[in-house]
Chain A
Amino acid sequence: MSWTGDNSQEGRRQDAGATTSPAACAEFERRLTLYVWQELEPAERAAVERHVAGCAGCAAAVARERALLEQLSTLEPAEPAELFVAQCRRSLARRLDRADASARFWSRLRELSRPAGWLTARPVWTVAALVLFGFLAGRYFAPGGAPEISSEVSGPEAGAGDSTAPASFLNSSITGVQRLPGGTVAVRMTREQPVVVQGSPEDSAIRGALLAALQGSGTPDPDARIESVDLLRGSRSDAAVRSALCQAALRDPNPSVRLKAVEALHGLESEADVRQTLLEALEHDANPGVRVEAISALRSFLETAPGEDWTRDDAVVRVLRDRAHKDPNEFVRLQSGAAMRQISSRDVQ
């Protein structure tokens, strides 16, 4: 029988002969589909099989359903490539960082607004507090009412227009107060002020700031660290930059930054510290994307630098062998195995 897609009750009735009634076939229409998809309970399944055994029309319908499933199986399922998975994970890590930073911001804001909530819950105290605030503000800001502030401000901001305004002292840390002869007082303070440094990425000040973003406490914003890595890539022949990139590749808490740093080191594998960094990242990094990048860099170095004797180093062989057998990521295992074979063939030659 050629397949026409006719699964109608009429079609089945014509084939069914006298063994079954049209009503029985109608009852089986939906169940035949579920039967072929293997989604019937055993009792229902047995009932369908009994019916189909005695009904040529329904048997043909089952055959058509099976043919359809076979056709549908020609469409192969999409299997995400390892690199694509790694890229998705990297983007997710970045979005999670942003979500965390945003959550921290709102949590801080809630903490700051807590006293306001306390005041709202106690109207009498709220009124008293507002009256007191008004009284103090009046005393402080009314003409002739505010305490005198010396106009002599020393230090880098001396002479700045509003640097002596009371509000500008809020972000200051007072490190000393001293009574001076003549009834005046000297207050020593340090202030945290935002500073913007602007210039070409090659400028030493900019480079210093970018290096600082990657080192020590650096910046809590991973996007800023990623940007720093990217900008420092242009100066990576500088030993200090290379060292900072190596540190970021191994120590940064954010896998996207580590990955970016490993990428930035690509092409510098002839440097011993870079090779060591790549090996360590390959061996210890928990993120498969970073390990993929590290083994890719090492492999391309093996291909472009024949005769390098670092491959005879036991540590190199140990790490590659270990990853070839144990890495949970298939790509890393395959590439590590290929690197091992590359080294072995070179040794034979």
Chain B
Amino acid sequence: MLPAETALALEAEARASAVTRLEEDALIRTAQAGSREAFEELVRRYDQDVLRLALQITRRPEDAHDLYQEAFLKVYRNLDRFRFECSFYTWLYRVVTNVCLDHLRRRSSRPEDQAPEPADAAGGAAEDFFDRQAHPAPHSNPERSLLGKELGARISAAMERLSPRERLVFEMKHFQGLRLRAIGEMLGTTEETVKNSLFRATRKLRTSLEGYR
């Protein structure tokens, strides 16, 4: 049995989460009724996560910008199809991951349109990109960043060798910290399939980075 304080804290947390969910449901219904303000509020709640994933996947701000537009326009046009059967976040990510997968598939079929190689020692396009578009994470350590630059370049190159689905699962797990079950729901597949994708992605990355250290 849980101690009384823990039980109370859990109950309070559950209640707060239920209230947030109710608020969000009301917001979604308002947006479904045609309110642009409500839709834009929903965008503001989630778009930084979406943009982070898009930047991570594309490594090009122009492409990330396009994916962002395409994903949210799809959400806007299909909002009336959202039936509250899952969380809005999951539904939104279903759309976003589809857009990202399409992008990765297009890119893998056009070798000339690959993401820029990460910056070399002299600093290249990728460095400009991160300098311009991304704040360093608050916990970042400049010395560690410098030491890891070469490794980062190798990891980025290795990630380009993953299949679109493996890449997406890896990004969502590693950088977004999502559980595989949630990723499965978002991708419209089973947890088992996602586990296989992560396993294969890890194996490929291990092989690509073999002998580096």
Distance of A34 Cα from B55 Cα, bound (Å): 26
Shortest B69–chain A CB gap in Å is 6
Shortest B47–chain A CB gap in Å is 7
Inter-subunit contact B144/A74 (CB<8 Å): yes
Inter-subunit contact B56/A78 (CB<8 Å): yes
Distance of A2 Cα from B210 Cα, bound (Å): 11
Shortest A284–chain B CB gap in Å is 14
> Which chain B residue lies CB-closest to A5?
B210
Contact of B212 with A by CB under 8 A: yes
Chain A 1-32, CB within 8 Å of chain B: the 1/0 string?
A: 01111010000000000000000000000100
Inter-subunit contact B69/A92 (CB<8 Å): yes
Contact of A93 with B by CB under 8 A: yes
Distance of A30 Cα from B212 Cα, bound (Å): 23
Return chain B residues, CB-CB under 8 Å to A78. 52, 55-56, 59, 130, 133-134
Inter-subunit contact B209/A71 (CB<8 Å): yes
Interface size class of B (residues with CB under 8 A): 35 or more
A-B contact count (CB 8 A): 124
- Known contacts: A76-B145, A88-B65, A88-B69. The answer to whether A81 contacts B134 by CB under 8 A is yes
Main secondary structure of the interface of B (DSSP, over half): helix
Inter-subunit contact A79/B52 (CB<8 Å): yes
Return chain A residues, CB-CB under 8 Å to B161. none
Interface residues of A (CB under 8 A from B): 2-5, 7, 30, 33-34, 37, 39, 64-65, 67-68, 71-72, 74-81, 84-85, 87-89, 91-93, 95-96, 99-100, 286, 288
A-B contact pairs, 29 of them (CB 8 A): A30-B199, A33-B202, A34-B195, A39-B198, A64-B206, A65-B206, A74-B152, A76-B136, A76-B145, A77-B52, A77-B175, A78-B52, A78-B56, A79-B52, A80-B51, A80-B133, A80-B134, A81-B135, A84-B61, A85-B47, A88-B65, A89-B40, A89-B43, A91-B69, A92-B43, A92-B68, A92-B69, A99-B76, A100-B36
